[in-house]
Each structure stands twice: as structure tokens, then as C-alpha cells.
Structure 1
């Protein structure tokens, strides 16, 4: 079975393991296709916070995405973490690949501080050393760790809102 860069199994388009998460942000509802269950829930939880604290995610412009079966940009081998549904790109027109400094200082500080809540499960492209990818976030831990973190996030106010907007995901996380 093929895996993405982070070791998660690649999911083909149409896989029953994919879920289109509805992100019920107070700044506007948007959708993103990710792996269902704990990994996707963690990423969706971060995106909900991002849209309400860092900057709105309009959803009107097609510059936000999750799952895409493709290789790692700039490489000839290996699957991107998007291929396993464990990565997102958000507001890509404002934060293009290869450009550093697309956020304000306070935004970087808040995003880095927020990562503590996810206990290492999320890595952001704002911290890539070789090639900046400030639109990007990805799962950085194995399933068991993500399951523990997702279960903890389920009881937070944003977690409850996400579960209400995505019926059936609670059962997937708890399975």
C-alpha cells in the first residue's frame, strides 16, 4: 500500500475514508475534503480556529483544499501528504508557495502558540526551512496520537461545533 510522506496510507479519490468537512466559522462557512476521523478532525479544528482568529477563509475563491492524489511538489517520487487526506492548503492566493513573510508577526506567534494544543499532531509550512509553504498544514504524528488528541478536542467549544456540523465523525473518531 502506498503511503504519503508522513506515513499515512494514500486514499484514492472517492475513498469512503474521505470526508468533506464543513467548517462552521463565524466568519463564514467553508468546506474542505480530508481524511475522515481523528486526522481530518484535528486539521478541521485548526482551520476553524484559523478562520476565526488569524484570517477569514472565504470559500468563494478556490484557493483552499485538502485531499489531492499527487506527488510532493518539486520531487519526482513520493506522495504528498495531501494524497492521504492529512494536509490542507488555505488562502493560497494570499500565501503562495515559496514566499516567506505573508503573515504578520502576531499571526505567526498565535499559530505557533496554538500548535501546543495539538500536541505535535500538526506541522505548519510557516516553519519549513528549505521552501516556505505558508498556506500549508499537515498531520505530523501517527494514528494513535491523533486519536488521543482528537478525543480531547471533541469536548472543546470548537470541537462541539465541528461535530454538530459533521454528523457521523464522532463515531469515526471513537471507533
Structure 2
């Protein structure tokens, strides 16, 4: 992994906003294996030469910020640190793959959504060629920290698009990348746009902490991620799929080994983290009936409070559902032996589900 910034004329290094401050964003699409330490990358290392005047001016701004804030930052203004957990880095799984990327939680929503779209729209991600956090300085300019050291950069398919290679993507792939980048605006910078030596595998956060554009992109991702997507939910309690049993006439229960129509739900985004689930068994919405006092059942034709849930992304790649009916987490009771019910204050194993798109 690497990044060459020999003259990044499109953007200034530091955007408006203060120094290092957490934004408190959700990780976009779930984090990696529970308890696993974020793994550092290792696919090569390089950086911009120190004598590049444009780059040097940006580095100077970052160094002044670092002194003022009494912290060290990467050249995009985000604090660096080790161990990874000290700056909020965790392993986040790219949807539809088994690949996890260690990135900073503040920007995980953005970077994992980018990786997801790259995987679906540009080319499939390759195992062993995807990198994130790596605590190191730029090799070609050791006076500055790499953006990987702050958990704000990722490298995708590094062997297919090695550092310094030009034209490693086809013209149609470049068009797809441009389309993805247009969604992120100034928030993401692509290493393929570096002047001089390019780094086409590399994508990085290009705004400072607290920048309003980052928050806007996160909100936009929430508006489009999953909405109208068919999903399955496999309970961590017993590894069974959640089913709208008896064609939706019975309560939801995690008791199926195979996901067919009764085990599929249409995810409807309600804004932010709020979602509704429409069962494919009967096209009715899942409801935490009786204000959450009764088990979940797909028996409503419209969405109000009892049919709305906060989709919570857990650090182990699972999701939890918190009912708007009573503010409780949905639980696969008695290890999945009983119907789902929104009755837990904390999301532990019985309240966690592996969500997959169909």
C-alpha cells in the first residue's frame, strides 16, 4: 500500500474545521470478526518526495495543526496512533464478501461503502489484496505520516493495480470509478489522479475531521444503502435464518437452515439508521406488536413507530435491530428456540444477526 502525492493540485490538504474531533459516525456496513485486532496492511510502501513544493506546503499546514492540537496527524489532518484501537480503528466487512478492512470508525461508513461499490461496479475485490490501517510514515518522505496510519485510506486489489502503474484499469472501469467518485465529491481522493507517479489502488479521505461534507456524504449513504434491497437475517444465537413462519401468519422465529421466501425481507430505509422490514412471505411489514410487549410478526400494511427499527452495526460484522416501539433490541429468545421479541437493553449474542443481501 502506498500513496504518491507529487502534486495534488485539485484540493487543498486541510479543509475548514477544527483539528482532531470524532464525528461519531456509524461504520457503514458492519465490522469484522469479533474481538479481532485490526490488521496492518503490508503491500509495499512509498510516498511523495519531500522536495515537492506544493506537497510541502500542505505538509507544513498539517504539522502546524499537529503542534496546535498536541497530536500527530497524517497529511489529511487525522490523528495517527497505535495500537489501532487507540484511534478507533476496527475491522469492517465489505458486504457480499469475506474481506474485512481495518479503518477508522469515524470514516468507516464512507470507505466501506466505497469498497462495496468498487466490488460491485468496478471489479471484484481479491482476498489478500485489500489494505487499510498501517501505522507507518511515508517511505519517500519520512517526515510525514501516511494516511493509512490514521485509518483513513484503503488500497483495493493492490497486485492488479500496483503503485506506479498507469492504465491498470480499462476505460470502462475508469468510468465506473469516476461515477463512484462523483457521489463522494471532495471527500474521497483517488491515487489514480496523482500527478507524476500514480497509485491507482489507493483511495483516501481528503477532508479534515469535522468537515460538514463528510457528514453530508454519510447521510447520503444512509439514504441509499440497503433501501429496497432484499435481505436475510441469520441469528447468531443458533445460526438459523429468521422466518416469517406459516407464510407470515405466525410470529418471527429463527428456525430455518435455508433461506427461501419466508426467510427474506425487503429492507426499507426510513432515514438515518431507521429501517422497516417487509416480509416476502406476505408483503406485510414486521411489527413489534403491542408496543413491543408481543413477539415480532409481519402483519402490518403500513409503517409507523411499531414497524420501525434502528439498524445497529456491530463491531463483529453483525447487525442488531432496536425497536422504536419500546427502545429495546430484538432478541432470538432462548437461543433461538422462541419467537423474536424486542425486550433487551443490550445487544449480545441472541440480539445479533448476520445480514446478507439476496
Alignment of 1:134-173 (within 5 A): 134-143=200-209, 144=211, 145-157=213-225, 166-167=313-314
Unmatched runs of 5 consecutive residues or more in structure 2: 1-70, 232-272, 274-310, 320-358
Is the contact made by 2:84 and 2:90 (CA closer than 8 Å) also made in structure 1? no
Whether 1:22 aligns to 2:93 is yes
1:47-95 deviations in Å (ceiling 9; x for gaps): 0000011111132xx2211000111232121000001100001110101
Greater share of strand: 2
Q: Output the CA distance in 2 between the equivalents of 1:133 and 1:42.
A: 20
Q: Displacement, 1:124?
A: 0.5
Is the contact made by 2:130 and 2:155 (CA closer than 8 Å) also made in structure 1? yes
Alignment of 1:11-160 (within 5 A): 11-16=81-86, 17-25=88-96, 28-37=97-106, 39-59=107-127, 62-143=128-209, 144=211, 145-157=213-225
Whether 1:2 aligns to 2:72 is yes
Q: Which has the higher contact order (CA 8 A, sep 6+)?
A: 1
Q: Displacement, 1:119?
A: 2.1
Specify whether residues 41 and 76 from structure 1 end up closer, same or farther in structure 2 by C-alpha distance, changes over 3 A only: same
1:82-139 deviations in Å (ceiling 9; x for gaps): 0110000111010110111100011111211221111210001111112110110000
Q: Displacement, 1:148?
A: 2.2
Q: Residue 173 of structure 1 aligns with which residue?
A: none
Q: State the secondary structure of the residue aligned to 2:101.
A: strand
Q: Displacement, 1:165?
A: 8.9
Bigger CA drift: 92-101 or 6-15? 6-15
For the aligned residue pairs, the C-alpha RMSD in angstroms reads: 2.4
Q: State the secondary structure of the residue aligned to 2:109.
A: helix
Computing the radius of gyration over CA atoms, which structure comes out larger, 1 or 2?
2
Greater share of helix: 1
Q: Displacement, 1:167?
A: 2.2
TM-score (norm 2): 0.43
Is the contact made by 2:132 and 2:148 (CA closer than 8 Å) also made in structure 1? yes
Which structure 1 residue ranges, 4+ long, deviate > 6 Å from structure 2? Answer: none
Q: State the secondary structure of the residue aligned to 1:78.
A: strand
